[in-house]
Amino acid sequence: MSLRDKLNFEGDPLYLIDGSAFFYRGFHAYPDLKRSDGVPTNALFYVLRVLLKVLKEEKPKYLVFMLDGKGMNFRHELFDQYKAQRPPMPDDLRCQVEPLKEAMEILGIPLVVSQGEEADDCIASLAARYKSERPVIILGADKDLKQCLDDNVYMWDPAGRSEKVTSLADFKEATGFDPGQWADFQALIGDSADNIPGVPGVGKVTATKLMAKYPTLEDIRDNYEKLQPNIKKKMKDELENMFMYRELTRLKLDSCKSLNMEDMKLAPVDNQAVADYLTTYEFRSLVRDAKTVFPFPDGSEPVKSGKRGASSASKSKKADSGQLSLFGESIPVCSDPESRLEVKKAESAADLPDFTAKEVGLVREGKTYFIGIDGDEWMYKADVAELVAKLKSAKTVAVADVKSFIRFDRAWQGIALDRWFDLSLTAYLLNPEERNYAWDRLRSMLYAGDELPDAVDEVHPDAQGMAALALMHVLGPRVRSAGLEDLIDSLEIPLIPVLADMEEAGITIDLESFAQFLKEVSERVAELTKAIHERAEEPFNIRSSQQMSTILFEKLGLKPGGKTPKGALSTANSVLEKLSGQHEIITDILEFRKMEKLRSTYLEPLPKLVGPDGRIHTNFNQLATATGRLSSSGPNLQNIPIRGEQGKRMRACFTAGEGMRLAAADYSQVELRVLAHFSGDPTLVSAFEQDEDIHSRTAALLFDRDPADITRDERGNAKTINFGLIYGMGPQKLSQELGIKLNEAKEFIAKYFEKLGVLKEFYDSVVEQGRDKGYVTTLSGRRRLLPELHSKSPQIISQARRQAINTVIQGSAADIIKMAMIKVADNQEIKHLGGRLILQIHDELLVEGPEESIEEIGKLLQEDMQSVTSLVVPLKVDLGLGRNWAQAH
């Protein structure tokens, strides 16, 4: 049903499409989609898919596709940092702009490319201009466009899973605001996507409460003296800035003045031109949608929308005898004239087929499950426990993300781990550099030219469960040929429920300690602000790199230390640190930034993330790093400061629950021990076997002295070299780290490899393996592909060499901590004593347990970590116990 019918519109609506948003969304959603000659087509495919859906369902008369033009606009003049953090358009996306414009012309869709303003301004202007005479539908999801909502203006995201339609009433109910207040609200909270700072310390909750009493920025300014002291303090220096922020986010209503309704009318379409275009860009899977909108010429039969890239010769025997070459190749004709997907609905688990010993594809969308089995697609919305009970007998259950199933409903733990096939995890292990393993992207692999196996007879473009099953048949053989089965079965899959349990457990934080720490840091920020302004002899925005550059390099006359990629004088910390002796203001600025980061990144946001149970719950990601290390997000607890007094204060804010204590166990120099294991270097091996201080031992070699005579600075230098070379540090970086000349750094490295000669041989062997095999492997067989080792660029080769060594060492350390997590989580004695694993931070594990048994739990934790695998040198674990993380660490 069209929106016109759903919403009972009278007259023809005007459809305004935020084209740039869909263009970029498609680029990231289908990163692998290319034409057979390698030309990127991902953004084009996505946009065309959306447009064909709209043309088919809505049959619009008036529609315009908006694109952002090149260059600056008034917002950049108002605030030079506006969108400054955004990288330029990727080359693989830029090359699709002209084909996109061509597509608009062929489809008869009016195209507007904004100049000197943004596409959103044109959309807002047209919506305001025509909403009184006809319904206006804005296709997009940008939050700024919510300003346009009105009684006759709607937002619709046809590419979203729920195809959400937002009305004025929906907006008011969700936010409590009128659309006219939205820019004021955004000005207060800021917008990181557009680099709009907002008022520091004012988040969504504070802004909502504030605007409930004072609906506009003018009201807030006029009633400043009546504000609560803490709010007043935050607003003090922002009373003028917030109006500028509003101008940055408020949409113009006087754009696209020359555009009238006739200009936005769809033009007649040459159906053959549509067919030729889809042929050119090899969009076979869009044929089914295209032919329902544009009847194919010469009475041609509709094209079969079957498996992408499948051999027509091998499939033709299952199709009608007629063949169609409209799209440049012989494609079987579909016997179903509508080519619709038949989805069978199961009202209960009893309605589903028998899964015993069968391969099943499973996709979850909210509370709906799509199941692919034996060539059929099923939809199930009933009891999860019943579905799990039914699936227990399946041979394999292929899903995009096992952990998301377990976190959604614990009943899914009823499926034995060896029955799961995790598509995201498998794709990641095959190529850990991709970074995007979301279901939409994985599914796009079926449309990227891969030959699907005969075991899957037909994968309809709309089929979800069958697509999951098909993808398993694509990835499974690759996993086996890559030798990754053991890694998946013994390490990565068993880790999934461990991570799910940790995420659910969370960690308690002391809100009073956070509040006190925040108060002290905020006071220090205020003191530093005052001091910096006094040293500059004028107030300026310390967060503005342009204003700071003017103060430092023009007014104070300091010597610039470098430029940004755009040519401006750099005020980055690395530059300012080199200028620290030139003026006292530099020291204050560096401390200001440190305090400000502490405040804005940790002290203010973390307490807001505390759940009803008084604990913070992070998300652990198995698919984020090329080396296999876990990452943490929402919030990132692996980035909590650990060094110095502030790091200790921060960790002290993380506590055990009532009546509980924490045990923190940290691997000691695990990466150097891994290096000793792989290289067999006698110096390293001997030092670890005798439990010597490895950095003092290394320093003794470098400085030709007895370890007992090594100074603290010399040991520090050796430590920098030991760890730096693991991470691929070169002489230039080493010279910066140690504060020595480049030649001295080169001599240090040369002497290091002279004294530890076996290491050089090991490093060279790792690189040689990567060059010969195309990849390097870790302790558990994890692979990282390194085709860059064959590059003609010395710079790229050098980077690939560093990545090769880093992957073997750091990746193996990641394997070890994962092994330890599984062993600790499965330790029945720890469970019996009431202990549970709650956090992993790099080489450290945190276990929470009852106060009376935490000492015994800690010993078991330490034993498990030290015995989890055998290296040629012993694994050593430092253990601490305490009420909070600082005490335990």
Stretch 105-110: mean pLDDT:
92
Residue 728 confidence class, pLDDT cut points 50, 70, 90: low
* CA pair distance 21, 153, nearest whole angstrom: 19
pLDDT at 334 (0 to 100):
29
Q: Closest by alpha carbon to 283, among 439, 444, 443, 466?
A: 444
pLDDT at 727: 67
pLDDT at 2: 76
> What is the rounded CA–CA span in Å between residue 663 and residue 366?
37
Quick check: 335 pLDDT over 60? no
Backbone angles phi, psi at 660, to 5 degrees: -115, 170
**3 state SS for 205-243:** HHHHHHHHHCCCHHHHHHCHHHCCHHHHHHHHHHCCHHH
Q: For 407-444, how does the pLDDT look when each residue is reduced to its tens digit (9 = 90+)?
A: 999 999 999 999 999 999 999 999 888 777 888 778 87
User: What local confidence, expressed as pLDDT, does residue 68 receive?
Assistant: 86
Say whether pLDDT at 452 is over 60.
no
Q: pLDDT tier at 406 (50, 70, 90 boundaries)?
A: very high
pLDDT in tens, 252-274: 888 888 888 888 999 988 888 88
The DSSP element (H or E) to which 703 belongs, if any, is helix 694-703
Residue pair 723/671 in contact (Cβ under 8 Å)? The answer is yes
pLDDT of residue 574: 79
Name the amino acid, one letter, at 30. Answer: Y
Give the mean pLDDT of the chain: 85
Q: Cβ(742)–Cβ(732) under 8 Å?
A: yes
- What tokens appear for 851 in the block? 């106060």
776 dihedral zone (left: phi>0; alpha: psi -120 to 50; beta): beta
Mean of pLDDT values over 841-850: 95
Cβ neighbours for 72, distance < 8 A, ≥ 6 positions apart: none
Q: Residue 330's pLDDT band (boundaries 50, 70, 90)?
A: very low
Rounded to a whole number of angstroms, the distance between the first and last alpha carbons of the chain is 60
- Alpha-helical runs (H) found in 540-627: 545-549, 573-578, 584-597, 605-608
- The residue that leads in pLDDT, 247 or 337, is 247
Cis peptide before 635 (omega within 30 of 0): yes
DSSP β-bridge partners for residue 663: 847, 881
Residue 446 has pLDDT above 70, yes or no: no
Sheet holding 615-616, edge to edge: 615-616, 507-509, 654-655
Output the CA torsion sign for 148, 153, 156, 162: positive
- Kindly tell me if the per-residue pLDDT of 360 is higher than 90: yes
For residue 358, the model assigns a pLDDT of 95
Separation of alpha carbons 380 and 387, rounded Å: 9
User: What is the pLDDT at residue 524?
Assistant: 93
Q: In the predicted model, is pLDDT for residue 768 greater than 60?
A: yes
E strand or H helix that includes residue 397: strand 396-399
Q: What is the pLDDT confidence band of residue 445, given thresholds at 50, 70 and 90?
A: low
Per-residue confidence (pLDDT) for residue 296, from 0 to 100: 54
Average pLDDT over residues 315-337: 28
Is the model's pLDDT at 400 over the cut of 70? yes
Q: What is the mean pLDDT of residues 458-485?
A: 87
Q: Looking at the predicted structure, is the pLDDT value of residue 204 above 80? A: yes
User: Percentage of the chain surpassing pLDDT 70?
Assistant: 91
Asked whether residue 593 carries a pLDDT value surpassing 70, the answer given is yes
3-class DSSP state for residue 199? coil
The confidence score (pLDDT) of residue 394 equals: 96
Least confident of 365-379, 730-744, 763-777: 730-744
Quick check: helix, strand or coil at residue 630?
Answer: coil
Q: Quick one: how many helices (H) and strands (E) in the chain?
A: 40, 25
Between 134 and 738, whose confidence is greater? Answer: 134
**Residue 299 in this model has a pLDDT that exceeds 50:** no
Region 667-683 average pLDDT: 92
Confidence grade of residue 161 (pLDDT, cut at 50, 70, 90): low
pLDDT the model gives residue 384: 95
Please report which confidence band the pLDDT of residue 85 belongs to, taking 50, 70 and 90 as the band edges.
low
Asked if residue 315 has pLDDT above 50, the reply is no
Q: Residue 66: is its pLDDT beyond 80?
A: yes
pLDDT band at 618 (very low <50, low <70, confident <90, very high): very high
pLDDT at residue 748, rounded to an integer:
81
Paired tokens of 16 = 């305004």
Per-residue pLDDT at 321: 26
pLDDT of 456 > 60? The answer is no
Q: What's the pLDDT score for residue 458?
A: 57
Residue 312 falls in which region: left (phi positive, over 0), alpha (psi -120 to 50) or beta: alpha
Section 391-403 average pLDDT: 96
The overall pTM is greater than 0.75: no
What is the band of 71 on the pLDDT scale with cuts at 50, 70, 90? Answer: low
Which amino acid is residue 221, in one-letter code? R
Q: Do 79 and 62 touch, CB atoms closer than 8 A?
A: no
Q: Which residues lie below 8 Å from residue 589, measured CB to CB, with a gap of 6+? A: 532, 542, 548, 576
Please report where in the chains the tokens 């692996």 appear, as a residue. Answer: 638
Q: What pLDDT score was predicted for residue 813? A: 95
Higher pLDDT, 715 or 337: 715
Kind plus residue range of the DSSP H or E element containing 170: helix 168-175
d(CA 395, CA 781): 26
Domains in the chain, CATH or no CATH each: 1-168+252-282 (3.40.50.1010), 176-251 (1.10.150.20), 296-340 (no CATH), 343-505 (3.30.420.10), 509-615 (1.20.1060.10), 624-680+794-889 (3.30.70.370), 681-793 (1.10.150.20)
